[in-house]
Amino acid sequence: MSQTALRGSTVANLDLETASDPTSQTIDRPTIALRIVQFGMLTGLVWKFGYFRIGDRVYHEIPLWQDFFPLWLQNPDVLRWSYITACVATMLTAWITQGHWRTLAAALGVVSTSILCLHQGTYNDMTFVTAWWCALWSLWLSMRMDRDDPDRLMEKAAHLGQTILAVVLLGGAAGKWTGEYWSGQVLYDIYFVDRNYWFFNFLRSSLETDDLRMVATGYSRFVVMTETIGSIVIWTLPPRLAALVGVLVFFSIAAMSNFWLFSVLNPLIALASVGFLVRSQSRS
C-alpha cells in the first residue's frame, strides 16, 4: 500500500472515531460556564429593576442619613451607578474574549456588587449578596481560563461553585434554626396570612385556619431541613448530580415562595448549572 493511501486510511479512521465520540469535539466549556453565570447574574439584577427604580427615586427625594455608614455609602448616586456598573460588568465579562480585559470586567463586577452589599440602600438585600458570590467566582474563573487545562479547570470551577452554594444554603439554614421558625410562626405571618401568591392563595382557599397553621409549620420545617441537608448534599455530590439537585432546590424555593425571589436565586441557579458542563468521566 502506498504512503498516500495509508495516510488517507488513517485520516478516515480518525474522522470516524471523532464522529462517534462527541466528547472529542472541541467545546470551550469554561467560556460557556462563565457566560451562563453572567446571564444568571444579569437576569437577577434586572429582575430587581422595578423595585430598584422606585427605591432609587425615593432615596434621591428623601435622603436617609445614618452614622453607621460612611458618607459615600449613604450617597444615592453611588448606589445608582453601582447598580448600573454591575449590570454592564456582567455583559462585558460574558462578551469579551481577551483574557486581561475579561478579567478586568469581572473585577469591575466584584467591586460594584461589593458596594451594593455595603451601601445603606441595599446592604440588607440578598439579591446583591448572591450576585457578589457569583461575581467573585467569575473573577477567579477568568483569571484561570488561559492557564489551566479546560477539563481540570471545569472540575475545580464546579467544586468551587458547589462550595459557594453550600455556604449560601447553610447560612440561610443557620438563621432559621430558631423556635419561631421551627414552630412555623415566622413563615405563617410572612406568607400564609395574606401573601398574594398563587401557592398561598390556593392554600387559604382550600384550608381552614387551624389546618392552614398546621401546614405552615410543616412548610417551615421542610424549608429548614431542605436548606440544612441541601448544603451538605450539594457540597458532597459529584458535579452533575450536585448541579441537578442545586437547580431543583433553588428553583423550587422561589417557585413555592415568592416570584421576586428569582432575583436572588437566578445567579445561584446559573452557578449550580456549571456542574452539567463537567465531563461525565471527570470527578471533582
Compute CA 53 distance to the chain's CA centroid, rounded to the nearest angstrom. 22
> Per residue in 60-76, pLDDT tens?
998 888 889 999 999 99
Give the whole-angstrom CA distance, residue 196 versus residue 124. Answer: 23
Query: C-alpha grid cell for residue 247?
Result: 437547580
Weakly modelled stretches of the chain, pLDDT under 50: 1-24, 282-284
Give the whole-angstrom CA distance, residue 39 versus residue 90. Answer: 8
pLDDT score recorded for residue 283: 43
In three-state secondary structure terms, 235 is helix
Give the whole-angstrom CA distance, residue 67 versus residue 278. Answer: 48
Give the type of residue at 34. Answer: L
* N-term to C-term CA, the chain: 47
Looking up cell 462578551 gives 95
pLDDT score recorded for residue 67: 87
pTM of the predicted model as reported, rounded to 2 decimal places? 0.86
Closest CA to 106 of 118, 126, 91, 119: 91
Give the whole-angstrom CA distance, residue 154 versus residue 243. Answer: 13
Q: Quickly list DSSP for 55-123.
A: HHHHHHHS----TTS-GGGT-HHHHHHHHHHHHHHHHHHHH--SHHHHHHHHHHHHHHHHHHHHSTTTT
pLDDT score recorded for residue 281: 61
Give the whole-angstrom CA distance, residue 42 versus residue 131. Answer: 9
